[in-house]
Structure formats: structure tokens, C-alpha cells
Structure 1
Amino acid sequence: MSERALRIGLPILVLAVLLLAWDLIVRGFAIPPYVLPGPGLVLSTLIADAGLLFQSLLVTLTLTIEGFVLAAVGGVMWAVVFNQWRAVEYSFYPYAVILQVTPIVAIAPLLLIYLPQHLAVLACAWIVAFFPVLANTTLGLNSVDHNLLALFELYKASRWEILWRLKLPAALPQMLAGLRIAGGLSLIGAVVAEIAAGSAGAGSGLAYRIAESGYRLNIPRMFAALVLLSLAGVVIFFVLSAVSYVVLRRWHESAIRRER
């Protein structure tokens, strides 16, 4: 079997085995649906509540994409600033680290006090997604081959020519890796903020639907919402991975190996 067939078939096989084991456990031990619903009940609930759940998913994905775009643009811009002016990097990079290591569950309630709900959720999505883009892009810009840098300086290239023609292309793999990480983290930040919003987020995102289902012991709907969130995260990752592959496939070793 080809490697591509194995990479597709084996995860599907594992998923099928897990679903079968889940169904057998629920049926064998007669577990009630409010404790652990079976996969069939979760699927039927997902279909029955599709209108409500997909509307909430759209709200969550909108906030996720907005936070991701802000993190991507801001992270790359600040990485360029840090690379060009080391004094700025030394002054502000430690605060970016502090922002990253502070748990978002502790920041979200504070943001909800001072900001409108939409902006607070957006800020949480941006906070957790910003640092991976900043750190990876900064590392890529600072890791340019010194021999190539000396060659550009020998030909009297300006600072901006070096940045545009050498540093940014060389940093592209690290930048794209940071974006792949940031995509999933922005979804996590949006979900955490929506849960922290509690009743203030009534009628909004999918995370609120999960909390609401838990309060009402509607466990099948909670599982259905969790399935949608997981699928959204997987789609985000694969979309960003595909973008990375398309950008790098003609010249970078990590993408060329996938075609062999």
C-alpha cells in the first residue's frame, strides 16, 4: 500500500474502532443518554439541531478568523520591527512572553468587564494566537544564513532590500508554521472567552451552546457541539497546512519530501 493510502486509511480505521467500542460500551452497560450518549444518538442530535448548532458555529468561526487575521498581521509586523530595531525587541519582547504565559481563562473575565462581549472574545482569540506568529517569524528573520547576508551587504543592498529579498523569503517556513499553530489557538481563545461570558453570551457562539447543554443535562447536544468544534479545528489546520504546502512545494525541503 502507498504511504498516502496508509496516512488516510489508518486514522479512519482507528476512528471506526473507537466509535464501535463507544457504541458497544453504551449498549452493553445500558448507560443512560444523560450520562454518556451513544454515537448514533449524537449523530441524530447533530442532524436534528443542525440549524441552531451551525448558526452558533458560524459565530464562533467568525470570531476565530477575525482573531487569527489580527494575530497574523500583527505578529508578522512586530516581528519585522523586532528584527530591524533590536532595541524595540529588547524592550517589548518580554511583555509578549508575559502575555503568552498568562492563562487565558484568567484574562477572559477581566476583558469581559472592560470591553463589549464581541471585542472581549476577539481579544482572547488574538492573545493566544499572536505569540506563535511573533515568535516563529522573529526566529526565522534572525536565522538567515550569514553568508547570504554578507553577500547582500557586499553588493550594497539596502536594509529594506535585504528584508524583502532575503529575510522574509528565508523566514517563510517558520512564519507558516506559526500560522498553523495560531489557527487552532485562535479557536481555543474564542471558545474560552465564550464560556467565560456565561449567560452574557446567550444566543451567540457554539461554546455557549455547550455550556447551556451542560446546565440542561442535554448531553447529546453537548457532544454534537463538541464534534462540530473538533471538526472546525481540523478543517482550520488542514486549510493552513494546504496553504503552507502550496507556498513551499517548489523550493523548500519540507514540502518537496512530501511529493517523493
Structure 2
Amino acid sequence: MAPTDRAASPVPALLIDAEEARRERSIRMQRTGRWLLPLLIMVAALVLWDRLCVWNDIPQYILPRPGVVFDTLVQDSGLLFASLLVTLRITALSLALAVIGGVGLAVLFTQSRWIEMSLFPFAIVLQVTPIVAIFPLINIYVDDQTTKLLLCAWIVAFFPILSNTTLGLNSVDRNLIDYFKLNGASRWQTLWHLRLPAAMPYFLGGLKIAGGLALIGAVVAEFVAGTAGQSSGLASRIIEAGYRLNAPRLFAALILISLTGIVIFLTLSWISHLVLHRWHESALKQEQ
């Protein structure tokens, strides 16, 4: 029986090796497909866009070909990127204010249920009221144009951070809270060492949402304000290009806005990964 056992023993090992190789191939294919598939689809969409313009003989002022848009992006790069910096400044400032205000108010909500019941409905009102309805009031009470845009973008970006952080601070395991109390921890010690670390994934999720909304709020605020000629943000360039039927510049500005939103999301996702990848389950699963 001994020779038979020795002869049969390599079979399970071979099966395990084959299964491991299959898993490795699957992981490599997923990693490659994560960037290759979107790239192929994007290239196919650009080719189809170009062919539709050629086949239907569409005028440039209605729908320019992708090559024309790219040439415009290069030729007008000085003007467009200067406008992009203005939009980015409003986006970054509004996001920073949303983080400070949202996290600060969420901490207050956690420390006092009465404060939460008193103020949270007003935050909901700001969130559900369209910015185009709020802006006329802002336009009356605020004189500085930059402050108007900043306030509009902040209103849009504020609520996701407030709601997600509040949810995270209130989602701590009650057994852990009781354990802290039994060991004589103060309210602020419990907040710093338990509630804030537990709320970090919720906060970072809200931050990724708020980053895109801050950009949207900055662009929409310029449209609502009608700031063409007064501000040099990308929305102003879009309005100006629309009036002049300069479709290539309009598309170039839209592409810049889209790319900026993608960069903001990827940057915030990278920050979230850096913070969470060593200890939180969601980031650990992504690494496996």
C-alpha cells in the first residue's frame, strides 16, 4: 500500500497548483481589464463620433470632429487652462469649507442629540432646495462675485460630508462605547479614540461624493450667475462659446471639466485607500 500512497500523493498537489495558477490568471485579467476595457470603449466611441460627423456631413459649428476639438484644446490651452484654475480654486475652497463645516457640525450632533434635532432639518432644506432657487437670495445679500460662487458650491458639497460623517459617528458599536465608559474615558476621549476612527470610512465616502459635487456646484454657480465676461471660469468660456457658435471650444471646455472631475475622484479615492488599506475591511478586500 505504501507505493500506491506515494504515487497518489502528487495528484492533489497538482490540482492545487492548477487552481492557484487559474486564480493568478484571473487576477491578472481583472487588473488588465480594469483599465483596458474602458480605454477600448473610449477609443471606439471617438471613432464612431468621427465617422458620424463624416458620414452625415455635420457642420463644425453643430458637432465638431474629435480631431478639431483636440486641436482647439491645444490652440486655446492658455485661455482654457487659466479658466480651469479659476474653477479649481472655487472647487477646492468650497470642498475645504464643506469638510470643516460638515465634520464640525457632525461632531456637535454626536455630542448633543438636541443640537442634531434642532439643526439637521435646516441642512436637509439646503440640500433639497435647488441652487438655482437659492441663488437669487445670495445675489441680493452678497456683493462679491467670487463669494457668491463659493457659497453656491459649498451648499452643494456640504450635505454629503455632514450626513455621512454623522452616520459614521453614530454607528459605533454600543459595546465598545460601554467599554470606554467602564474604563473612565471622557466624552472627548471616546470621540477621539473611538468615534472618529470608526467614522473615517463614512467620512471618506462622503468626501468622494462631495469632491465631484463641489466641481458641479462651481460650474453650475457660474451658469446661474451669468458670469460670462466677469469671471474667467470654464463655465464662462462655455457660455461665451455658445453665444459665438464656437462648438470646438465648447467641447474642449466640457472635456476639461470631465477630466477634472475624474482626476478629483481618483485623487480622493487614492487618499481613501492610503488611510484605510491597512486596517479597514473594504480596502483589504480590494487588495486580495
If the TM-score is normalised by the length of the shorter chain, which range does it land in?
A: over 0.9
Aligned-partner Cα distance in 2 for 1:199–1:241 = 32
Distance 1:203 1:156, change over 3 A: closer
- For 1:195-210, what aligned pairs fall within 5 Å after superposition? 195-199=223-227, 202-210=230-238
Alignment of 1:64-213 (within 5 A): 64-115=91-142, 116-199=144-227, 202-213=230-241
Alignment gaps of 5+ in structure 1: none
- Give the whole-Å Cα distance in 1 for the aligned partners of 2:163 and 2:81: 34
Instruction: Report deviation, 1:109.
Output: 3.5
Q: Which residue of 2 aligns with 1:57?
A: 84
The Cα of 1:199 is off from its aligned counterpart by 4.2
Per the alignment, residue 252 of structure 1 pairs with: 280
Contact 1:66 1:122 in 2 (8 A): yes
Count of residue pairs brought into register by the alignment: 260
Tell me the equivalent position of 1:242: 270
Q: Using the aligned pairs only, state the percent identity.
A: 58
Deviation for aligned residue 1:228? 0.2
Structure 2 residue aligned with 1:29: 56
* 8 Å Cα contact 1:194-1:201 kept in structure 2: no
Partner secondary structure for residue 240 of structure 1: helix
Mean alpha-carbon deviation: is it higher for 161-170 or for 100-109?
A: 100-109
Whichever residue aligns with residue 232 of structure 1, its letter is T
Q: What TM-score does the superposition give when structure 1 sets the normalisation length?
A: 0.98
In structure 1, distance between residues paired with 2:231 and 2:195: 46
Q: 1:233 aligns with which of 255, 261, 271?
A: 261
Q: Is the 1:140–1:175 contact (alpha carbons within 8 Å) kept by the matching residues of 2? A: yes
Q: Which runs of 5+ in 2 are unaligned?
A: 1-27
- 1:69-128 Cα offsets, whole Å, 9 max, x none, are 000111000000000011000000000000000011222233223211100000011000
Is residue 238–residue 250 contact of structure 2 (8 Å, CA) maintained in 1?
A: yes
Residues 228 and 236, structure 2, Cα contact 8 Å, conserved in 1: no
Q: 1:203 deviation in Å?
A: 4.5
What secondary structure is seen at the aligned counterpart in 2 of 1:2? helix
1:200 deviation in Å?
5.9
Report if aligned partners of 1:37, 1:219 keep a CA contact under 8 Å in 2.
yes
Counterpart AA for 1:168: L
The 10-residue stretch of structure 1 (134-143 or 106-115) with the greater mean CA deviation from structure 2: 106-115
Letter of the 1:69 counterpart: A
Match 1:43 to one of 63, 67, 70: 70
- Note the C-alpha offset of 1:197: 2.0
